[in-house]
Structure 1
Amino acid sequence: MAKHVSRRAAIGIGAAAAALVTAPRSAAASNEPATRAAGPDGTDPGTVGPGAGRGPELIRRTYQRQKARAGGVWRSHVAVLDAAGVLRTVVADDADRVTHGYSVQKLAVAVAVMDKIDRGELRLDQRLDLTADIILGGSGIYFLQTVWGDEVTVANFLTAMLLVSDNTAVRMCGRVVPALEINEILAAKGFPHTRVEPVANPNRFFLGVTTPRETHDLLWGLATKTLLSARSSDFLLGVLRWINGYHDGIRREMSSAERSRVATKYGADFDTSGAARHEAGIMFDATGAPTLTYAFFADSLGDLDNYGGTHPAVRAHAVLGRVMLDVVEPVTNRAARARHTVRPFSPVDGG
């Protein structure tokens, strides 16, 4: 990728992104246990797994160490379900700062599309034409076709957008849910700072801004099926948990079965301050109950053109992923009112 001034640098992050948010969204709308407030150092003094305070402290120390090694500016939120069934904040590092979400924002876009489906105004099997004028490069698969003229379903481009972060799929979403409507849906769902950035064409937009805490709230609402219908939640979680998705970060040091317990979305870009490498997601226990959410937003990083697994921030994500999964391994959310499971992966040799 050529080094140039990002489109986001050109339009600016805006007043909302410059301000420190002082009134984060409450998790009270969830039918799952509320998140307990973090201590003054951003950790919770309670118990996760065996040993008083051992799990949260291990995650906190690992986060601080990996953050220092990777450099840059980090804004993060991690919450873990403890052995008593209480969701506790373990890391709250500038968690209410509005920041560019880059491709992590595709989660919010997908939620807006599914909300419209839940209201009966759109269908997963509805077809749209995929023409050359809508193709966008960068991450994804559609631009690799070199010829177009397909008809694809809403389910098709949502899968491409979440599994391989397809950028053309974002434009397809804009055709069925315009930018202003996406923002209206997100506001109605209680996300005052998660927004796409409209442009002159009402059906197109930049991916916009969010906060780590709102990303946590969105993830937890998706996992507990309080944000969307159970059917819509299961569809999105099924894509995010599938093992053909992103593996360089949180899921790198995991077996295929362990990877299937993690729903994750990665985002990467750069602006005049440096590179950005983000990742956010949910870890589930062996029964399909959600046990942990993470939202790591890191920018002002070096290694600008390295989008691979050797980027320092991506290495940090990999270390954090292994530690977080080990911490929640002994934890079972027996009281979970909503669960999600995926089929075990089985290779198929054609036929």
Structure 2
Amino acid sequence: MGLSRRAALAAGTGAAAALVAGGTASAAPAASSAAGQDDLAKLPPNEKIRRVYGRQKAKAGGTWYSHVTRVGASGAFETVVEDDADHVVNGYSVQKLAVATAVMDKVDRGQLQLGQKLDLQADIILGGSGIYFLHTVWGDDITVANFLTAMLLVSDNTAVRMCGRVVPALEINDILAAKGFVHTRVEPVANPNRFFLGTTTPHEITNLLTRLAGGTLLSPSSCTFLLGILRWINGYHDGIRRNMSSEERSRIATKYGADFNTLGAARHEAGIMFGADGAPALVYGFFAEGLADLDNYGATHPAVEAHSVLGRTLFDSIATTTAPGARLKTVVPKFQPNHGG
């Protein structure tokens, strides 16, 4: 696992040079052709997913750790892609799924309420992704539901600190351990209410998502609350959900994470796709590091472009899928524009 961004920056120019060097290596793009596309169209869905994954991984470069499962004819999830899925990796903002899980676990146990309010203090504000740092003035009283929504919908970094005020780092790790996660942990610091986002594995994050979609990770109402945020179409669109209609996007709950370490750029995305009846139909976790294009956090990053191709392929494989026996089925309101008034 590469030296983290903060450690690399603290180490000075030598580490920075290694960081730049690590970000320039990439595999040669895989060739594509009309004939190749015709061949893909003839393949069974699972084999087509594996073939597209292999091509996009090679084209984007870097080192990938991935896990994809899809509902089969029996109604059970079957492994489609398993690529070094037990590798422990810095999860970056994908870890916000684990943080939200810990907060909602405390809600389920009656120790916290979604309507409970905390003040948004100036000294807690973090830049980077999110919305709170854009306010320029602070002091609002905001609910737990408010900062959870900001953390999952627009990956707000300040919201992570707000979560730490209600569930300290060590308690988050204890909750995750009690739920059976071995490697999914935040990294505590001297202040017990703050932490770095820590590590996970593709297997563990897809396990978390599968249980979330099935209503067993938390209470069914808490699972539905988190899924409603993750599925809303104002969320992240550059990767898996890029080439989708608004209705298709609403059938995908996704969380993106991006940063860098001494190996190079890291671009991750994990989520759930729902079938035509609202039942979970496919779960994916794509983690990639050692990538080039270090400072590109947009849709043109090679790994993010790979995610968009994979997203279309994955969704097409479950577009008409139904699972009558699913424990939990969820829907989100149809998006309707509103002109105010």
TM-score by length of 1: 0.86
CA contact (8 A) 1:126 1:154 kept: yes
Query: Within 1, Cα distance between the matches of 2:121 and 2:236?
Result: 27
Question: Of residues 185, 195, 205 in structure 2, which corresponds to 1:195?
Answer: 185
- 1:169-188 paired onto structure 2 within 5 Å: 169-188=159-178
Amino acid at match of 2:137: V
- Note the C-alpha offset of 1:331: 1.8
Question: Of residues 333, 341, 344 in structure 1, which corresponds to 2:331?
Answer: 341
- Note the C-alpha offset of 1:83: 2.6
- 1:13-28 paired onto structure 2 within 5 Å: none
Q: Residue 79 of structure 1 corresponds to which residue in structure 2?
A: 69
Q: Residue 38 of structure 1 corresponds to which residue in structure 2?
A: none
- 1:263-282 paired onto structure 2 within 5 Å: 263-282=253-272
Alignment RMSD, CA only? 1.6
Amino acid at match of 1:230: P
Q: Deviations over 1:102-146 (max 9, x none)?
A: 000000000000000000000000000001100000000000000
- 1:1-351 paired onto structure 2 within 5 Å: 6-9=5-8, 54-351=44-341
Q: Deviations over 1:6-59 (max 9, x none)?
A: 1154799xxxxxxxxxxxxxxxxxxxxxxxxxxxxxxxxxxxxxx997011000
Name the SS of the counterpart of 2:130 in structure 1. Answer: coil
Name the SS of the counterpart of 1:236 in structure 2. Answer: helix
Query: Within 2, Cα distance between the matches of 1:246 and 1:70?
Result: 20
CA contact (8 A) 1:186 1:194 kept: yes
Q: Residue 14 of structure 2 corresponds to which residue in structure 1?
A: none
Name the SS of the counterpart of 1:92 in structure 2. Answer: strand
CA contact (8 A) 1:80 1:89 kept: yes
Query: Within 1, Cα distance between the matches of 2:114 and 2:150?
Result: 13
Query: Within 2, Cα distance between the matches of 1:164 and 1:8?
Result: 26
CA contact (8 A) 2:276 2:320 kept: no
Q: Deviations over 1:201-256 (max 9, x none)?
A: 00000000000000010000000000100110011000000000000000000000
Q: Deviations over 1:74-103 (max 9, x none)?
A: 000000001331210000000001000000
User: Per the alignment, do residues 114 and 301 of structure 1 end up closer, same or farther by CA in structure 2, a change over 3 Å counting?
Assistant: same
Stretches of structure 2 that go unaligned for 5 or more consecutive residues are 12-40
Amino acid at match of 1:292: L
Amino acid at match of 1:323: T
TM-score by length of 2: 0.89
- Note the C-alpha offset of 1:333: 1.1
Query: Within 2, Cα distance between the matches of 1:11 and 1:80?
Result: 42
Name the SS of the counterpart of 1:342 in structure 2. Answer: coil
Q: Residue 37 of structure 2 corresponds to which residue in structure 1?
A: none
- Note the C-alpha offset of 1:5: 7.1
User: Per the alignment, do residues 11 and 99 of structure 1 end up closer, same or farther by CA in structure 2, a change over 3 Å counting?
Assistant: farther
Query: Within 1, Cα distance between the matches of 2:293 and 2:146?
Result: 33
How many residues are paired up? 310
Stretches of structure 1 that go unaligned for 5 or more consecutive residues are 13-50
Runs of at least 4 residues off by over 3 Å: 8-12
Amino acid at match of 1:166: D
Amino acid at match of 1:236: L
Name the SS of the counterpart of 2:199 in structure 1. Answer: strand
Query: Within 1, Cα distance between the matches of 2:340 and 2:115?
Result: 26
User: Per the alignment, do residues 103 and 174 of structure 1 end up closer, same or farther by CA in structure 2, a change over 3 Å counting?
Assistant: same
